[in-house]
Amino acid sequence: MKKQFNRMRQLANQTVGRAEKTEVLSDDLLQVEKRLELVKQVTHSTHKKLTACLQGQQGTETDKRSKKLPLITLAQCLMEGSAVLGDDSLLGKMLKLCGEAEDKLAQELIHFEQEVERDVVEPLFVLAEVEIPNIQKQRKHLAKLVLDMDSSRARWQQSAKSSGVSSNLQPSGAKADALREEMEEAANRVEICRDQLSADMYSFVAKEIDYANYFQTLIEVQAEYHRKSLALLQAVLPQIKAQQEAWIEKPSFGKPLDEHLTVSGREIAFPIEACVTMLLECGMQEEGLFRVAPSASKLKKLKAALDCCVVDVAEYSADPHAIAGALKSYLRELPEPLMTFELYEEWIQASNIQDQDKRLQALWNACEKLPKPNYNNFKYVIKFLSKLTEYQDANKMTPSNMAIVLGPNLLWPQAEGNITEMMTTVSLQIVGIIEPIIQHADWFFPGDIEFNVTGNYGSPVHTNHNANYSSMPSPDMDHSDRKQHDQARRPLSVATDNMMLEFYKKDGYSILFYMGVRVMDTSWVARRGSSLVRKGPSTPPAVQPPAPPPFDTAATPQSPNPDLSVESPSPTPPSSGSQPGPERTR
């Protein structure tokens, strides 16, 4: 108690300047002392934040740590989901592969956190909470010893003044001797403590490189963890991609044609073949096919079914407009048009040629340059549209009408303008391209074609399915009653194609002639009677075959069975009488 009282009195005297204060640390050690406090603050904060980054429970064994790890929980969830879905589904396979990968990543994370905890977190804790506090504690102890030394010196000096002894002479007597021994002992303790403190401070400065190495270790451990994790991910990614590539049930709408054909192992895109074969059975005589808008819900359902490669033919046979709408949607949603962006300018230039024979030859040349997948599917579509024109008296879809409503779905510019520009310029030129190709399909693509390529839809039978509709008008109706009946059957929603068709009828052809594009006159169709039997394909003027003589379809008696109707022979190439270009080797 007395020693504590002497310390307080000495400290008060030093504070007010009535007593001298002994400085026991050099300037260098004073700088180290300040640095100690800063390092402690930084280390404590880093330790706290780094500990928060660890996902596992700190200080526990591997098994206990893994139970608290979110990645382990995720891996277990994925594996359970895989077991529920099974290996028969692509999603089940993906969940299994990802679950295994996440479990391996979790094990790597556990190992990483254990290394960080051992080599970084614990040393930082020791530095911030043990080593630096010990030095600071020793510094406080030295301050107390210095106060004791100053206090004992002050009392000894006061004793000398009281005895009247000169300051050069040491006071004598028992009290003076006791005070001198106390002073010398205090000075000795101060010296020992100061030496120890100085050694610890200098050791701290020398070990700063070791403390900095903790952070280097942190980065090295992190780098190794990420390298191993990356290696795991790179090992599993090819397996995931292989599973996806091997899975044939991929959506086809909006996907590149090449990708769909490669995955499905087909030559003709599934939506094209499915829609064409169904239309051959149920839609050839449907009025306004490709022009009348289908039900939005039916169209959406059919597109989804085609994406899954599952189509109920019986369900959609009563709605040919939905089938035609799905075919148009597929063609339009291709990332690149069937007639390709690369050949767009060549198609347009060919359509601007004034001479009909030269224009047909230029169109044929452009057709030859199509990539094989595009060529096969374009040929398939055109041959179908050509067959559809055989029923144009019933379906009202002449080559011109089909070119108007389907042309923009087969070819469009890479940078599209607004709808007005498309309707007045680009689409008009495209009509001038598609219409003659449909009219002369057998010249562009000689020979017959099997529409039911995969054999999944049965042989197309060209019957008038309209006769099966309970709402079909009676043949005995007069013209006005039939017109009212047709208007009652027409959907309330009219497609944009109707607008384009009316536009072409009013102003389209005049604009085409103004642009220098010749459009073949198909008005003869309206003058050719109203028979529902199919008509033979037309031939280009001035490209009749030399032998046998031209076949006059108008003079040929029509068979009552559309399938038994006689078709006109395929025309020969223009002018020269020989096939334009080399024989196809596709």
Per-residue DSSP letters for 56-119?
A: SPTT--HHHHHHT-HHHHHHHHHHHHHHHH-TTSHHHHHHHHHHHHHHHHHHHHHHHHHHHIII
Once rounded to an integer, what is the mean pLDDT over residues 520-532? 34
For residue 129, what is the DSSP state? I
Angle between helices 208-246 and 27-53 (to 10 degrees): 20
Can you tell me the mean pLDDT for 188-199? Answer: 89
- How distant, in Å, are the alpha carbons of 236, 257, 307 from that of 241? 9, 20, 20
The confidence score (pLDDT) of residue 558 equals: 35
- CB 397, CB 541: distance < 8 Å: no
CB atoms within 10 A of CB 246: 10
**pLDDT tens digits along 364-384:** 999 999 999 999 999 999 999
Strands (E) in 419-539, as ranges, are none
What are 449-473's pLDDT values in tens digits? 888 877 665 433 333 333 333 333 3
Burial 417-438 (b: 16+ CB within 10 A, else e): eeeeebbeebbbbbbbbbbbbb
Are residues 445 and 382 in contact, defined by beta-carbon separation less than 8 angstroms? yes
Q: Residue 511 pLDDT more than 70?
A: no
Distances in Å between the alpha carbon of 520 and those of 83, 345, 350, 432? 64, 21, 14, 8
547 pLDDT higher than 90: no
Please tell me the predicted confidence (pLDDT) of residue 519.
Answer: 39
User: Mean of the per-residue pLDDT values for the chain?
Assistant: 74
How does pLDDT run across 277-299, given as a tens digit for each residue?
999 988 888 888 988 888 898 88
φ and ψ at residue 26, rounded to 5 degrees: -75, 170
Question: Got the DSSP string for 241-271?
Answer: HHHHHH------TTS-HHHHHHHHT-SS-HH
Going by the DSSP 8-state scheme, the letter that residue 213 receives in this structure is H
Tell me, what's the pLDDT at 578? 38
Per-position b or e across 451-469, b if 16+ CB within 10 A of its CB: bebeeebeebebebbbeee
Rg from Cα positions in the chain? 47
Task: Give the per-residue SS3 of 273-295.
Answer: HHHHHHHHHHCCCCCCCCCCCCC
Helices 132-162 & 2-16, crossing angle to 10 degrees? Answer: 90
SS3 344: helix
